[in-house]
Amino acid sequence: MKRICLFAGYDNKNIIHDYVVYYLKELSTIADVYYMADNEISEHEKAKITPYVKGAYGFNHKKYDFGSWQELIKIIGWKKLSEYDELILANDSVFGPLYPMKKLFEKLEQDRQWDICGITEECSIEKTSKTYIVNNFIQSYFIIMKKNIFTQDYIKQFFKEYSYYPSKADVVLHGEKKLSKILIENDVVIKKVIEKLYDPFKEWKSILKSGSPFIKKSKFTNKEYNRKYETLYKYEDIVAKYNTYDIYLIDRYLSSCNISKNNFNNITYAVVTIIENLKHLRKKLFTLNIKPYRKEIVIFGITIVKKDYKQSKFKTINK
């Protein structure tokens, strides 16, 4: 199997961090890797990843991840891309892989009944003047496309038309959501690694236990996320329990962001963790949630009514 990986990076200090170097090293065991940063990178920084990539580039194109993939496609060309059996789109928004990439792809090889495979699926609800629109899409931090799909004209057109968008919300709308919409409209078989609709920005333990090779970086750097249910209290023990990942790769990155690992291991954070767990327990025992797109009533742990428009749409590999 011949694979190519287009990897999107970004750092506001123009650094390629150790966790990214490790990720690229692992990717190089299963694919030819090309790196593009949405920032300038020096020759010194490029030298860190030279052993693991076929090409490394960086400039301020300001088009986020999809823009980096678009720029790499311009450099490599569709003719060269078509020589590969699978195309991997990846970025540096995650820590990992928590276990060897070869192990993940051995699992994927056991189920070949897919055209596109991602790690997690997201479902969003959009309100219109008359109703609610449900959008299911594969999250783009790691996507694999087979040759019969990434060589299609509609994929080429998608990347050709992709442009600058001012916010991350627009990037999700015109990137992740639009790509999945195009794939669904063309009857592409989409699968994922994680079965349930877990939120990787918050429910990191659940997706880790379900076999995810990644933890979202924002879980550590965004206070809204790291203080929500499934907090990061004693995170190093949990990561070590399920994986062989070098926890110091996370710690070194946090240190570069002036975030101490003690923020997640002190008494104050332990209290936050207890409160969040109690809130979650209360929701399991008693819930009254009546919305146009979701109706749920739970009393003493017994579900009386449950109707939720947010449902998984894509099948899971090996399921």
Tell me the average pLDDT of the chain: 93
Structure tokens at 289: 């949630």
* In the predicted structure, residue 269 carries a pLDDT above the cut 70: yes
CA-closest candidate to residue 223, choices 247, 262, 259, 198: 259
- The pLDDT tens digits for 229-244 are 999 999 999 999 878 8
> Across residues 58-70, what is the average pLDDT?
96
Cβ atoms of 198 and 211 within 8 Å: the answer is: no
Strand partners, 297: 288, 305
The residue type at 102: K
* In the predicted structure, residue 283 carries a pLDDT above the cut 90: no
Q: What share of the chain in percent tops pLDDT 90?
A: 77
> Across residues 37-59, what is the average pLDDT?
98
∠ CA(17), CA(23), CA(29), 5° rounding? 140
Q: How far apart are CA 22 and CA 107, in angstroms?
A: 21
Task: Give the side-chain half-sphere CA count within 13 A for 51.
Answer: 7
Check residue 319 and give its pLDDT: 60
Check residue 91 and give its pLDDT: 98
* In the predicted structure, residue 166 carries a pLDDT above the cut 80: yes
Q: How far is CA 220 from the centre of its chain?
A: 14
* In the predicted structure, residue 169 carries a pLDDT above the cut 80: yes
Q: How far apart are CA 300 and CA 286, in angstroms?
A: 6
Structure tokens at 116: 């596109």
> Across residues 9-22, what is the average pLDDT?
97
Structure tokens at 298: 């739970």
The pTM is what? 0.94
- The pLDDT tens digits for 272-281 are 999 999 988 8
Cβ atoms of 18 and 252 within 8 Å: the answer is: yes
> Across residues 245-261, what is the average pLDDT?
95
Cβ atoms of 63 and 135 within 8 Å: the answer is: no
Q: Is 299 helix (H, G, I), strand (E, B) or coil?
A: strand
Check residue 125 and give its pLDDT: 83
